[in-house]
Structure 1
Amino acid sequence: MCQDHHENTNHTPPRQDEDNNLEPFPWDIGIFDAHCHPTDTMSSVASIPTMSARVLTVMSTRADDQDLVPALASSHGIPSVEALTSPTTHAILPAFGWHPWFSHHLYDDSLPASSATYPASLSPSEAKLAHYKSVLTPSPEEDDAFISSLPDPLPLSTYLPQLRSRLESHPLSLVGEVGLDKGFRLPVPWSEPALSSRDAGLTPGGREGRWLSPYRVALPHQTAILVAQLRVAGELGRACSVHGVQAHGALFDALSGMWKGFEKEVVPRRKQKLVAEGAEDWGDDEGEEEGGERTREGRLVVAARPYPPRICLHSFSGPVQVVRQYLHASIPARIFFSFSVAINLATEGGASKFPDVVRACPDDRILVESDLHVAGERMDGMLEEMYRRICEIKGWGLRDGVERIARNYEEFVFG
């Protein structure tokens, strides 16, 4: 996610012009931002109709933007299969979810009293204290002032029906941004001097340049919130955009636990050679079980499952070994890998491993995103730079590469 990373990404990558000797960028094919956050800076959304990108996949992350994202989609249009191929399209694809940075704002009220983080037997103020002392690490035992600065937590029994309702109201919408993050620390409460100089153009609720506290959200709690949201995605057959920072193993464990018992059969090569030619059926066809039926909007109808049918690992920062782990033939979900300049090229270490990771990704599983909190020319420029980088690494011609990624985006969204 967005504001904290992008504060250090102030450059606008050069766009093609007569002076830089770059091959003209094929915007006419269709450029798709698989993950971004323009509702963090609402003053920038007026520039969306002037952008060259065709569709922006806009994430929600917390209480402050759950209504902003569908409002933006309603005012700027939602894509259809036909719109993806139209050069006049400037559409918003909404995604609904609760980011791991804010997962402590939710609590699971289905837990038994012995393990509840928000004890129903206590008063609301006492239960709030108990919840945050339980889910934050280190526990802020002596820091009641910090806990008081946090919002009253919301029960999953309230949030999950809201999530389901938003998804059903927007038939092509995704679940996102959700995930796990071991590294993030909560910002300190606003001080009076900081609050007086706060940028009023930013949507409240983010870090907004504040110092960081020592507190993190305990990974088991993050995982519970993630899994609860992904179950809704699985029940409704929706794709999802997943955040994973310093938690690649934990994220894989959480996802693989959801599809346990639904793995595809992996037929050994020796057994394959024994099957008569033309009689093979390895069960790999996407949507075969559902017969290829699609909704009126064009989304593939899939049977309800405990896991999402398609998952984008956004701004994927893991090593090649993790890519290969997600490509195992037994995994029933289709895994995509998305990359952004803002994250993948922000550090020397990330940039150095980036080419090998891209080469390890199958051609039909790559997406591009900005992960940017400001719409407009800068977002277009960062998308163009990443498209060019990936095409160069893959050895694709620019038009060919852009067409490939457009097909990948269509499959990710529509199935």
Structure 2
Amino acid sequence: MTVTDDPAAATTRDGGEPVAACDAVLRHVVDVHCHPTDSPATLSPDSMHRLPITICPMASRKSDQPLVRALAQAHPDKVIPGFGYHPWFSHQIATEPVISKRHHYSSIFLKAPIKSDHEDLFNELLESLPDPILLTDVLAELKQNLTDFPNAMLGEVGIDRSFRIPIDFDVSPRKLTPFTVPLEHQISIVEAQLQVAVDLGRNVSFHSVKAQKATLDLIDRMVEKHGDRWYRISADMHSCGFSPQTWTDVQKKHGNIFLSLSTTINEKSPNHRELIAVCSPNRLLVESDFNDIRGCAERTWEMVKIIADVKGWVVEDEWVEGDVLEEDWGVVRRLERSFRLFKQGQHTLPTRKRSAATSKGTS
């Protein structure tokens, strides 16, 4: 998830048409992770009509669950919605009955010994924070949204060990506090949401920042807990920041984990091209991770071209209908197959894990 300083002022990078590719090709491109509802001023019926690709807009907090829902209802032919609570907002969720707003937030942010000036910052932060919502209510809403949209996925959810809570998230520049959401709280929130995804058979868009070990441990727990049911769904590591070696290990061990990259985030990393190089063609997805609908197609297409360059695949300049020999496939057709595999799920549980996981009863 990313936020521009002034979303309403964002434009395409070249100031003209969003993508230099024909519509027949772009209709087969899927932006698997974006946040256009974060910039409602640019999200109009006209901007959606001109959008040449399919998008997967992600919800991240209480206020945007209905916004993503409305966008999916208005444009079912172009929108695959994601519903869920991002780790940046997990502190707003209470796992136990709330005694008071102060009690809830102090139990999260003031557990450890704090510096004297931190208490003043906490009091300032407390004034801007919403009343906490119960996890049971979050899960009930999540189940309803996923049930109402059979093509919806869980997202954006995950773990983030670097994000500091701002006094006001929606004001730019943000005034950051020293407070972070404890890892154990983040994990309790994301595991509860993953349980819903497994129960309903829905795929996942997963955020992981500075939390590689915690994320891999979580995936291992999902395998042990759910067995075959976990492998019936797919999980995408969005704007993946894993090292190439870690990703190589993950894709060998877990047949249901996919990788998507964005120029918004990954272009800043020196290893994103190596990540593409080591990733199986059947696990690669593309995204914009952008919050202005006018830039989603362009940024997604930029990543399509980077993948084509790294993998040595041609970029289609026209779309050929019907059967095409795989040896003649271009980058868009290959990415389309990868997304189809992500979407359909039903992955095979690794043989070495099958006996242990199934013997526990795949609850």
Q: Shorter-chain TM-score: which interval?
A: 0.7 to 0.9
Structure 1 distance, partners of 2:309, 2:144, is: 42
Partner in structure 2 of residue 57 of structure 1: 56
Structure 1 distance, partners of 2:142, 2:151, is: 14
Deviations 1:306-327 (A, max 9, x none): 6771000001111112212211
User: Are residues 126 and 170 of structure 1, via their aligned partners in 2, closer, same or farther at CA, if it must alter by over 3 Å?
Assistant: same
Partner in structure 2 of residue 200 of structure 1: none
Structure 1 distance, partners of 2:87, 2:6, is: 18
Structure 1 distance, partners of 2:274, 2:265, is: 16
Partner in structure 1 of residue 305 of structure 2: 388
Structure 2 distance, partners of 1:371, 1:12, is: 15
Residue of 328, 333, 336 corresponding to 1:403: 333
User: 1:49: Cα distance to partner?
Assistant: 1.1
Structure 2 distance, partners of 1:158, 1:384, is: 38
Partner in structure 1 of residue 70 of structure 2: 71
Partner in structure 2 of residue 84 of structure 1: none
Structure 2 distance, partners of 1:215, 1:395, is: 45
Partner in structure 2 of residue 164 of structure 1: 143
Secondary structure, in 3 states, of the residue corresponding to 2:336? helix
Partner in structure 1 of residue 125 of structure 2: 146
Which structure has more helix as a fraction of its residues? 2
Does residue 319 of structure 1 match 2:233? no
Q: Is the 8 A contact 2:204 2:234 kept in 1?
A: yes
Secondary structure, in 3 states, of the residue corresponding to 1:217? coil
RMSD: 2.7
Q: Is the 8 A contact 1:234 1:306 kept in 2?
A: yes
Deviations 1:333-353 (A, max 9, x none): 5111001110011x2xx0x21
Structure 2 distance, partners of 1:37, 1:318, is: 22
User: 1:224: Cα distance to partner?
Assistant: 1.0
Does residue 3 of structure 1 match 2:3? yes
User: 1:382: Cα distance to partner?
Assistant: 1.1
Q: Could you list the structure 1 runs, at least 4 aligned residues long, displaced by more than 4 angstroms after superposition.
A: 4-7, 13-17, 134-142
Q: Is the 8 A contact 2:158 2:206 kept in 1?
A: yes
Letter of the 1:257 partner, please give it.
R
Partner in structure 1 of residue 192 of structure 2: 228
Partner in structure 2 of residue 48 of structure 1: 48
Deviations 1:147-183 (A, max 9, x none): 2321111111111011001100000100000011111
Q: Percentage identity across aligned positions? A: 31
Secondary structure, in 3 states, of the residue corresponding to 1:211? coil
Q: Is the 8 A contact 2:109 2:179 kept in 1?
A: no
Letter of the 1:2 partner, please give it.
T
Secondary structure, in 3 states, of the residue corresponding to 2:293? coil
Q: Is the 8 A contact 2:82 2:153 kept in 1?
A: yes
User: Are residues 324 and 5 of structure 1, via their aligned partners in 2, closer, same or farther at CA, if it must alter by over 3 Å?
Assistant: farther
Letter of the 1:236 partner, please give it.
L
Structure 2 distance, partners of 1:246, 1:129, is: 23
Q: Is the 8 A contact 2:124 2:167 kept in 1?
A: no
Partner in structure 1 of residue 33 of structure 2: 35
Structure 1 residues not aligned, in runs of 5+: 80-90, 110-117, 190-204, 264-302
Q: Is the 8 A contact 1:313 1:337 kept in 2?
A: yes
Letter of the 1:224 partner, please give it.
S
> How many residues are matched?
323
Does residue 92 of structure 1 match 2:79? yes
Q: Is the 8 A contact 2:91 2:105 kept in 1?
A: no
Structure 1 distance, partners of 2:10, 2:92, is: 30
